[in-house]
Amino acid sequence: MTAKYDYDLVVIGAGSGGLAAAKRAINLGKRVAIAEKEAFGGTCVNRGCIPTKLMVYAAEFAQQRVIASDYGWLNLQGTFDWPSFKQAMDKHLASLQAQAINSLEGADIFRGQAQFIDAHSLQIAEQKITAEFVLLAVGGRPKMPDIPGIKYAIDSRGMIALQQLPKSFIVVGGGYIGVELAQVLHSFGCHITLVESNAFVLDGFDCDLQKRVKQMLTDDGIKVIDGARLKAIEPQGQGFTATLSEGQTLEADQILCALGRTANTDTLNLEATAVSTEKGMIVVDSHGRTKESNIFAAGDCTATMLLTPVAKVEGIAAVETMFSDRATIDYTWVPSAVFTYPEVATAGLSEQAAQEQYDNSDNIEIKRSCFIPLKYAIATSSLEAFIKLVVDAPTQKIVGIHMVAPRAADLVQALLPALKKGLTVSELQQTIGIHPSTGEEIFSI
């Protein structure tokens, strides 16, 4: 008997979500096709997590140099050469793209932009294919404000693609991408002004983390302007003038906007289906199913959390629901990190979220600990680390953990299974620490 459709599943987008979903469907023995209009690996590999974290590692050398002489390493000289670093980075990204393609063995690969003809039929470049199920894993792109002169600004993607590093930047937006890039570029020797419309950076993070990170950036020598929006950009000599909402003007060689992301849903011809969007993001139920029953969506094109591990589990859950058992995702303990120096890491409820969620604020207990990591004990420059627990007072269960500390991301990741199981503060403290480490500071909280 000939199959009704060309494929059991067509995945649109070979980023984190699409690749994970396609691999799962291949393993289930399904006939899979995947369409990609740009580089395989998507945002994370080509213009997101990987290049920015390689930049963070490049910046660490400058941060270590600050305390090197305290450790007896005198006269550590040298300047950062962006083209040399970029060459090494681009080589690695190309190898990851190749790995992404190799991982799709067993699927048919279509290169080009996919568009719906109807709920089961797609046009990809000159080809038309049909599928029982379609997974939309089309990701997103940076949001740029509609202001005069915005064409002169670059986004995170443009920053990573720069051939030469400008001497000064105005970074607009104090979310995690803006904060990471501001600190990295500052470490590379660029003069940085960070413009943020709120009073603090890292909107959505715990209030103590927001305040500490803003202070950390200022202490580093980054000028942070809060409560202001970018209103216009004009070319000025070799650089640009930015006008802010209060009429203030700033000059820099380059203006970098990091103002959030918008989903790549506008070119899919979703009108040919029943798939609906809200503010451009695809509306899905708890299994990733859209309003069109055979079409699912995962990752940054939906309104969940814009993180690679989330895109992956959503892609896999959608495939499980299509071909096996219905799968849902518990977002309660999704961790996130900001790869500043020191790192920010967080999971569970922020203090603000706990206050909103609990009827009686007496039922929330906040525990904080500040400490100087041993590495900085003999350094002339200081670094204060911070751990905060949000605790459900009656049960003493930890409902949120927030840190600014060296290796905070690894520590929060390692604690997650215990936190998810409902660990109490005293149970956490019944273990024995590793000395000296950031983790052992939890015992003195």
The size of the interface with ligand FAD (CB under 6 A), counted in residues, is: 35
Orientation angle between helical segments 207-220 and 176-187, nearest 10 degrees: 20
Kindly state the smallest distance separating residue 116's Cβ from ligand FAD, in Å. 9
Q: 260 with 143: CB under 8 angstroms? A: yes
Cβ nearer to ligand FAD, comparing 138 with 224: 138
Question: Is residue 405 within the footprint of ligand FAD (CB under 6 A)?
Answer: no
Q: Per CB under 6 A, which of residues 16..45 are in contact with ligand FAD?
A: 16-18, 35-38, 42-44
Q: How many residues does the chain have?
A: 445
Q: Using CB under 6 A, pick the residue from 166, 173, 299, 348 that binds ligand FAD.
A: 299
Among 10, 13, 289, 376, binds ligand FAD (CB under 6 A): 13
Contact call for residue 267 and ligand FAD (CB under 6 A): yes
Write down the least CB distance from residue 72 to ligand FAD, Å.
34
Start-to-end CA distance of the chain, whole Å, equals 67
The answer to whether the CB of 111 falls within 8 A of the CB of 97 is no
Residue whose C-alpha is closest to residue 412's, from 362, 337, 325, 331: 337
- Is 308 a binding residue for ligand FAD by CB under 6 A? The answer is yes
Complex with ligand FAD: residue 307 or 387, whichever CB lies closer:
307
CB 407 within 8 A of CB 388: no
Reference 403, options 393, 416, 417; nearest CA is 416
Per CB under 6 A, contacts with ligand FAD among 146-185 are: 156, 177
- How far CA 165 is from CA of 51, 184, 207, 220, in Å, comes to 15, 12, 33, 20
Q: Is the dihedral of CA 98, 102, 103, 109 positive or negative?
A: positive
**Smallest distance from ligand FAD to CB 331, Å:** 14
Cα dist. 201→207, 213, 255, 340 in Å? 10, 7, 18, 13
187 touches ligand FAD by CB under 6 A: no
Q: Which of 300, 343, 392, 441 binds ligand FAD (CB under 6 A)?
A: 300
- Tell me the closest approach of the beta carbon of residue 152 to ligand FAD, in angstroms: 20
Quick check: 239 binds ligand FAD (CB under 6 A)?
Answer: no
Least Å distance, CB 338 to ligand FAD, is 8
Q: What is the nearest approach in angstroms of ligand FAD to the Cβ of residue 200?
A: 20
What sign does the CA torsion over 400, 402, 406, 409 have? Answer: positive
- Dihedral of alpha carbons 11, 16, 17, 21, sign: positive
Nearer to ligand FAD, 43 or 187 (CB): 43
Question: Closer to ligand FAD at the Cβ: 17 or 373?
Answer: 17
From the list 332, 366, 330, the residue with the least C-alpha distance to 347 is 332
Alpha-carbon gap, residue 385 to 216, rounded angstroms:
11
Q: Which stretch binds ligand FAD (CB under 6 A): 94-102, 135-143, 406-414, 424-432?
A: 135-143
Closest CA to 36 of 22, 53, 51: 22
Q: Decide whether 49 or 161 has the Cβ nearer to ligand FAD.
A: 49
311 binds ligand FAD (CB under 6 A): yes
Q: Does 12 bind ligand FAD (CB under 6 A)?
A: yes
Q: Closer to ligand FAD by CB, 16 or 210: give it.
A: 16
Catalytic residues: 435
Task: Output the smallest distance, CB 274 to ligand FAD, in A.
Answer: 18
Of 333, 324, 263, the C-alpha closest to 21 is 324
Q: Which is nearer to ligand FAD, 25 or 307 (CB)?
A: 307
Among 170, 195, 307, 412, binds ligand FAD (CB under 6 A): 307
Q: Which is nearer to ligand FAD, 21 or 442 (CB)?
A: 21
- Least distance in Å: CB of 264 to ligand FAD? 4
Cα angle at 58 between 56 and 61, to 5 degrees? 110
Quick one: which H or E segment has residue 192?
strand 191-196
d(C-alpha 400, C-alpha 415), whole Å:
11
Give contact residues for ligand FAD (rule: CB under 6 A). Answer: 12-18, 35-38, 42-44, 48-49, 52-53, 113-114, 137-139, 156, 177, 264, 267-268, 299-300, 306-309, 311
